[in-house]
Chain A
Amino acid sequence: MVVLLAVVVIGGLVLLARRNRDGPRPDRAGTDGAGPGFPDRPLGGKRVSAALMSLGRIEVCGLRKEYRGIRAVDDLSFTVEPGRVTGFLGPNGAGKTTTLRMLLDLVEPTAGTATIGGVRYADLDQPIRRVGAVLEAGAAHKDRTGRDHLRIVCQSAGIPLARADEVLELVGLGAAANRTFRGYSLGMRQRLGVAAALLGDPQVLILDEPANGLDPEGIRWMRDLLRTLATQGRTILVSSHLLGEMEQLADDLVIVAAGRLAAQGTVASVIGSMTYLSRTLVRTPELGKLAAVLGSDAVVTPAGDAGAYITGADAVAIGDAALRAGIAIHQLVTQLPDLEAAFLELTAGKASIR
């Protein structure tokens, strides 16, 4: 009987221990930040030595991960260079998070290697001083303050505890340092994750969807921060679904679909490889006549207001044909594909959920 009573009481205590002690409720209407953002001052642009460059290079080679017969990542190879922001893109279930976790030794690859500066993450000396990672916005104990969360990471890594306060100020969470994690908005949680990643002042930053939940000001803050860090010679690998944001932020892209590499290169080269997606906007009072002289390869799609989009013939061919036929042209504009169009084309037909 006494044992039963004890079980009930202790069970209640366990449940109580999981609940908040005194933390404020999340301020859903609030912004993601609690203070000034990343300091708006020039920080870097220093020349990075070849040795540092090689220390910061991420190399993924023939990486494969199978879960119960399903290949989440399939023979994936790519390189991420220091001093650049590399966007890691792919549809849901494409294997992005699994790849990042293999890079951080959280997930064991079925085959292949993932190294940072030529060394597996697990073999790095003081890994947190070399690599900072933002994996999940909800990765802190709900009843712990942001400051305590960071101080625990400092203590584990042998970093002075005072560093926690520095990075909290850096990410604009100084005013919310002593609030419990339960009271943080999603954007504040993202900032805390970034703060944890910056504790060791690392050469390499790996961020999994860091912009999720950020408001426009927060997204701009994140963009400025990552750009500044890359300018300092750091390696920035960031996965995201925000294609427009990535087009502005990234220097390089790695696009995966169904666990396989779909494209890699600079943003311009990846988009440039999709030139067949480009189209030409033409405005002319004689659209029917122009369509007739362009030949069978050209596809004319009326766009209203005496205009049409033409694919299958570029602006030069259209202009020449119009000149020969004596057709007046009021507007002739080549429209190149954007990242979204390139992404959708590269990942089309590759099942994202397998």
Chain B
Amino acid sequence: MTALLDSAALDQAGDTGTTLVRLIRAEFMKIRTTSTGELFLTGFIVFTAMALTINGFGIHHQLDPQQGLAGRAQALAQARAPASVAKMAASMMTSGQRICVLFALLLGVLIVTSEFANQTAAVTFVTVPRRTTVIMAKVAAAACCGALFWLVGTVLAAVATPLFLYSQHVSTSVAGWAVARSVLLNLLAFVAWGVFGLGLGAVLRSQIVAVIGAIAVYAGSFGTELVFSALYNLFRQGWMLGAPVIGPAVASEVMTTSGPAFPHAPPGWTGGIILIGYTVALVAGGIALTKRRDVI
């Protein structure tokens, strides 16, 4: 075939990676070449800083309780006990997790829905007609974005936490297992929420519907505690006290909180399984629908 021009570029080798690897790199290019990623990262840093500040105030009040002299000494001893201090350090290191996973969730939504909002889905699927591979590349990109948010948040917390604890005259290491466990579970939460958003976006396609849906699912999850609390008052069934874990956001809380996230909360692994279960189901549904649907 005669080349249109004397193409020096086409004589060179392109990206020789597998289709999936090429597509993952392309997804990162998509995120880098618009302002979306920068805006989300900026917002995330601001919220993490706010969360660290608020958390710091809370812990400061625990470490320096303003009570009567006798009670104060007891509270001080309790607060500064090694287990309590480790819990505080873990809390500081995961500051803002409850709010900040929303950034991963919504960026996951946008990674797939922006293709339909900007009518680039046809270009994407004409370039690579293997739709499952395209969605899997987006899953990988959403997971990496979640991990990046976690990394940024953790680095900020890793700088702020020792400085804060030192200022409170508390000597503890942030490298202990309790803290590390919380930090790693936090990573799992960020990755899961990023992929959750991606799956939701793939199922719903409409950007505005998916963004509202994602926020509604996240915020609405916390309503499950109220619903099951009311149901328990009516029916007095013990299992209802732990049932709020079926809400994805509550499941995430249960997974990442060291100790019970709420009274009668099930063990942490239950939350992890439920959150990952929702995520896998959404991605599977998204792939199935993407393969079946016409791109108009």
B263 at the interface (CB under 8 A from A): no
| A229 and B4 alpha carbons, distance in the complex (Å) | 8
Of the stretches B124-132, B234-242, B264-272, the one at the interface is B124-132
The reply to whether B1 and A13 form a contact with Cβ atoms under 8 Å apart is no
- Whose C-beta in chain B lies nearest to the C-beta of A102? B294
When the two chains form the complex, which single residue of A14, A122, A136, A156 contacts B127, counting CB atoms closer than 8 Å? A156
Mask, A81-98, CB within 8 Å of B = 1, is 000000000000000000
Nearest B residue to A228 by beta-carbon distance?
Answer: B4
A190 at interface (Cβ–Cβ under 8 A)? no
Q: Does B58 contact A (CB under 8 A)?
A: no
Answer whether A128 and B126 are a contact pair too, CB < 8 Å, given A160-B13, A166-B7: yes
Determine the chain A residues whose CB is within 8 A of the CB of B29 once the complex forms: 148, 151-152, 155
Q: How far is the CB of B74 from chain A (nearest CB, A)?
A: 30
Contact with B along A240-256 (1 / 0, CB 8 A): 00000000000000000
Complex interface: chain A residues within 8 A of B2 (CB): 43-44, 46, 232-233
Of the candidates A107, A122, A166, the one having the most CB atoms from chain B within 10 angstroms of its own CB is A166
CB contacts (< 8 Å) of A160 on chain B: these are 9-10, 12-14
CB neighbours of B141 from chain A (8 A): none
The complex places the Cα of A155 from the Cα of B2 at a distance, in Å, of 23
Interface check B69, CB cutoff 8 A: no
- Dominant SS among interface residues on chain B: helix
The distance in angstroms between the C-alpha atoms of A21 and B9, with both chains bound, is 30
- Determine whether A198 belongs to the interface, using a CB cutoff of 8 Å to chain B: yes
**What is the distance, in angstroms, from A102's C-beta to the closest C-beta of chain B?**
9
Mark interface residues in B22-50 (1 if CB within 8 Å of A CB, else 0).
Answer: 11011001100111100110010001000
Q: How far is B123's CA from A148's CA once the two chains are assembled, in angstroms?
A: 14
B103 to chain A, nearest CB (A): 7
Query: 8 Å CB contacts to B: which residues of A33-72?
Result: 39, 43-44, 46, 52
Interface size counted on chain B using CB atoms at 8 A:
59
Q: Mark B207-223, 1 if CB is under 8 A from A, else 0.
A: 00001000100010010
Q: Is the CB of A201 within 8 A of B127?
A: no
**Nearest neighbor of B3 in chain A, beta-carbon distance:** A201
**B99 at interface by CB-CB < 8 Å:** yes
Residue of B nearest to A142 (CB): B118
- Closest chain B CB from A136 CB (angstroms): 6
Cα–Cα distance between A9 and B99 once the two chains are bound (Å): 11
Q: Does the CB pair B1–A159 fall under 8 Å?
A: no
B296 in contact (CB, < 8 A) = yes
CB distance from B213 to the nearest CB of A (A): 13
- Of the four ranges (under 10, 10 to 19, 20 to 34, 35 or more), the interface on chain A belongs to 35 or more
Provide the residues of chain B in CB contact with A133, threshold 8 Å.
126
How distant is the Cα of A101 from the Cα of B125 in the complex, in angstroms? Answer: 11
Give CA–CA (A157, B128) in the complex, Å: 7
Q: Smallest Cβ distance from B55 to chain A, in angstroms? A: 11
The answer to whether B126 touches A127 (Cβ under 8 A) is yes
Chain B residues with Cβ under 8 A from A44's Cβ? 2
B110 and A14 contact, CB distance less than 8 A? yes
B12 surroundings in chain A (CB, below 8 A):
160, 162
Which residues on A sit within 8 Å (CB–CB) of B3? 201
**Contact yes or no, A139 B122, CB < 8 A:** yes
Give which listed residue, A52, A101, A152, A229, contacts B33 with CB less than 8 A: A152
A75 within 8 A of B: no
Contact with B along A143-180 (1 / 0, CB 8 A): 11100100111111111111101100010000000000
Please state if A108 and B36 are interface contacts (CB–CB under 8 Å): no
Which of B2, B122, B125 has the most chain A CB atoms inside 10 A of its CB? B2
- Are A157's CB and B14's CB within 8 A? yes
Given contacts A124-B129, A158-B19, 13 further A-B contacts (CB under 8 A): A11-B211, A14-B211, A16-B35, A16-B39, A44-B2, A106-B296, A121-B129, A155-B29, A158-B15, A159-B10, A159-B14, A160-B12, A198-B4
| Residues of B that sit less than 8 Å from A by CB | 1-5, 7-10, 12-17, 19, 22-23, 25-26, 29-30, 33-36, 39-40, 43, 47, 54, 98-99, 102-103, 106, 110, 114, 117-120, 122-130, 211, 215, 219, 222, 292, 294-296
Tell me the A residues contacting B by CB distance below 8 Å: 2-4, 6-7, 9-11, 13-14, 16-18, 21, 39, 43-44, 46, 52, 101, 104-108, 121-122, 124, 127-128, 133, 135-136, 138-145, 148, 151-163, 165-166, 170, 196, 198, 201, 203, 229, 232-234
Chain A to chain B contacts (Cβ below 8 Å), 11 pairs:
A11-B215, A14-B110, A16-B35, A107-B296, A139-B119, A141-B118, A144-B34, A156-B22, A156-B127, A158-B19, A166-B9
